[in-house]
Amino acid sequence: MVQRPKEVKPLENYRLKVFFENGETKIYDMSALLETPFYYVLKNIGLFNTVKVKDITLEWATGHDICPDELYNNSTGS
C-alpha cells in the first residue's frame, strides 16, 4: 500500500520533512538524486523550496515529482 504524504517542509541541505497520512513523519534526503540529470535543476534552492503535496506524491514548480514508494521507503524517522 502506498503511503501518501499529507504535508511537506523543505529543510536545509536538500532534505524534506514529510508528514504521511498514516501519522509517520520522515526525513527524505534529496542530495544524491540532485546529482542526476533529471533532478539537477532542483539544486537551485529557490526551485527546491517550491515542493508541495500533489495527489499521492510530491511535486515541484518545475513539474518534477518523485515516486511515493521511493519517498516513503528511503526516508528515515524524524
Mean pLDDT of the chain: 96
Dist. CA 6–CA 16, nearest whole Å: 13
Q: What is the pTM of this model?
A: 0.94
Which CATH number does the domain 5-77 belong to among 3.30.110.30, 1.10.10.60, 3.90.740.10, 3.30.2020.10?
3.30.2020.10
- Other CB atoms within 10 Å distance of the CB of residue 28: 22
Tens of pLDDT, residues 27-60: 999 999 999 999 999 999 999 999 999 999 999 9
Read off the pLDDT band of 23 (50, 70, 90).
very high
Query: Domain map of the chain by residue range?
Result: 5-77
Q: Which amino acid is at 58?
A: L
Strands 25-29, 15-20: pairing kind: antiparallel
Q: What average pLDDT score do residues 4-27 get?
A: 97
